[in-house]
Amino acid sequence: MALPLPLIEHISQRLDSFADTQRDEVRELGPEAEGFVAHALASLVGGKRLRGRFCATGWRSVRGGDAPLPPSVIDACASLEVFQAAALVHDDLIDNSDTRRGRPAAHRALEAWHRDAAWVGDAARFGRSGAVLLGDLLLAWSADLFDAALSALDTSPDAARREYARMRREVMIGQFLDVAEESAWPRTPDDEHADRALRIASLKSARYSVQQPLVIGGALGGADDDQLRALAAFGHPLGLAFQLRDDVLGVFGDEQQTGKPAGDDLREGKRTLLIAYAREGVAPDVRERIDALVGDPDLADDDVTSLRRVIVDSGALNRVEELISSYGEEAAAALSAAPLDAGAVEELGRLLDAATRRTA
């Protein structure tokens, strides 16, 4: 998905300067501390900067589509990107994922560091423990950058601070619900699986990936209540469409484009809407086979292919694609009546199209 280079460059430059500061501050603490920080900073490399883009567009929707972004907004955009990196580090650890963006996941990179250094003890345990702390460090850095943004605002910081706090709470709860669902689903009535999957998608991704960055950006710009409601009304269905597209890519995506092995969501046991719909659309014996295969970390490629076929034949893929389109239409309808800058509305429309049609 093509992003406007100037914005990416602004965010990347701010992250680079922030990284330089972190390296300078830790240098006197010794090589282990320097290595730890280096691994944390490596997690900030790459990505589509989507949350930063939504935040910037939320600000411009209030201040004007052509308004230059002040340093405070760039700090907020960078903060959201660091928060995203923290969430991914913890997500990969929880899911036991080996790769992220085509590189070793943080816990695997730390494990390799331990092994290469010939340290004593269990390298895998070191990697897992270090990744917990690394993700926590990224969360602290995100808060530092957001505090810097608030300190330089020309408007009241209260609304932005409140929305940032809401985002942090909701994504942590959503992440736990995702973990819990992998254990709780056998005790849950079949007709509740889809609703529970959508609840997780809303909290874990839709709100923090799209809705809250937009609302935070608007709050930074001094949006009134009607404007904040309009941004949320647009952002939430778009965020759901974004997450459902992510679920589709997690099963059917091209590894060269997504940076993660094809079928990883199946091996990780993700109880997504795709799986809920597939279970609804098959006979009991096929449902038992789905339940036996989803969540098997050693799932063979042939089994992944078989599950993909079941998902397609059950109608689940078509149902999810239709829901993505429906959420896109809901977001577009909310945008058409929004009391926001016309130029920013056009940019939000492009974001809507890109987020729902993306292949990575």
Position 270 scores a pLDDT of: 87
Contact, 80 vs 213, CB < 8 A? yes
pLDDT range class, residue 352, cuts 50, 70, 90: confident
Structure tokens at 289: 């086979």
On the CB side of 2, CA atoms within 13 Å amount to 3
Q: What is the DSSP letter of 119?
A: -
Nearest to 7 by CA among 62, 64, 102, 76: 76
Percent of the chain with pLDDT over 70: 97
Quick check: 266 pLDDT over 60?
Answer: yes
Give residue 3's pLDDT band: very low, low, confident or very high (50, 70, 90): very low
Q: What are phi and psi of 100, to 5 degrees?
A: -150, 125
Q: If you average pLDDT over residues 48-60, what whole number do you get?
A: 92
**Which residue would you say has higher pLDDT here, 354 or 157?**
157
- E strand map for the chain: 99-100, 103-104
Give the separation between CA 37 and CA 19, rounded to whole angstroms: 9
Q: Of all helices (H) and strands (E), which one includes residue 153?
A: none
Mean pLDDT of 242-249: 92
Angle at the Cα of 349 (from 346 to 353), degrees rounded to 5? Answer: 145
Higher pLDDT, 139 or 262: 139
Confidence of residue 4 (pLDDT cuts 50, 70, 90): low
Cβ burial 46-83 (10 Å sphere, 16+ → b, else e)? ebbbbbbbbbbbbbbbbbebeeebbebbbbbbbbbbbb
H or E stretch covering 43: none
Band (pLDDT 50/70/90 cuts) for residue 55 is very high
- pLDDT score recorded for residue 302: 93
Distance CA 201, CA 174 (A): 8
**What is the structure's pLDDT at 360?**
63
- Identify the pLDDT of residue 154: 86
Nearest to 324 by CA among 297, 295, 353, 285: 353
CB within 8 Å of 148: residues ≥ 6 apart:
72, 75
More confident residue, 270 or 139: 139
Closest CA to 265 of 205, 352, 326, 327: 205
Count, residues in the chain:
360
Q: Which residues of 256-273 are buried (b: 16+ CB within 10 A; e: fewer)?
A: eebbbebbbbbbbbbbbb
Q: What is the value of pTM for the model shown?
A: 0.91
Paired tokens of 97: 């994922």
- 38/33 Cα distance (integer angstroms): 9
Mean pLDDT of 125-150: 98
Residue 183, C-beta contacts closer than 8 angstroms, at least 6 positions apart: none
194: left (phi over 0), alpha (psi -120 to 50) or beta: alpha
**pLDDT tens track for 162-173:** 999 999 999 999
DSSP conformational letter for 296: -
Residue 66 has a pLDDT of 77
Mean pLDDT score of the chain: 92
Task: Measure the CA–CA gap between 145 and 167, rounded to whole angstroms.
Answer: 15
Q: What is the pLDDT of residue 5?
A: 57
Residue 21 and residue 358: Cα distance in Å, rounded? 35
pLDDT 10s digits, 83-136: 999 999 999 999 888 888 889 999 999 999 999 999 999 999 999 999 999 999
**Amino acid letter for position 20:** D
For residue range 191-233, list pLDDT tens digits in order: 999 999 999 999 988 999 999 999 999 999 999 999 999 999 9
- Residue 99, beta-bridge partner list: 104
Residue 32: band (very low, low, confident or very high) from pLDDT cuts 50, 70, 90: very high
